[in-house]
Amino acid sequence: MVVKALVASGAIEIDKLTSRRVSPDEAAAVIAHPPPAGEVKVLVAPSRV
């Protein structure tokens, strides 16, 4: 996948595009509630860093 390669190489900086990262277990709760002010995008990641 081209996008995956761009992210892996650092050409696309995910950190600048996401407000926060959550685990798959937290995803349903995040989707069920309105985002706080200033939150742009949440990334669901298998392991949080």
CA distances from 14 to 22, 25, 38 (A): 14, 21, 17
> Is 32 among the domain residues?
yes
> Is 4 among the domain residues?
no
Do 12 and 3 contact (CB within 8 A), yes or no? yes
> Is 31 among the domain residues?
yes
> Is 43 among the domain residues?
yes
Instruction: Domain of residue 47: give its range.
Output: 13-49
CA nearest neighbour of 46 among 19, 18, 27: 27
> Is 40 among the domain residues?
yes
CB atoms within 10 A of CB 22: 17
Structurally, how many domains does the chain consist of? 1
> Is 8 among the domain residues?
no
Per-residue pLDDT of the chain (49 residues; tens, 9 = 90+): 788 888 889 898 877 778 888 899 999 998 898 888 888 788 888 874 4
> Is 37 among the domain residues?
yes
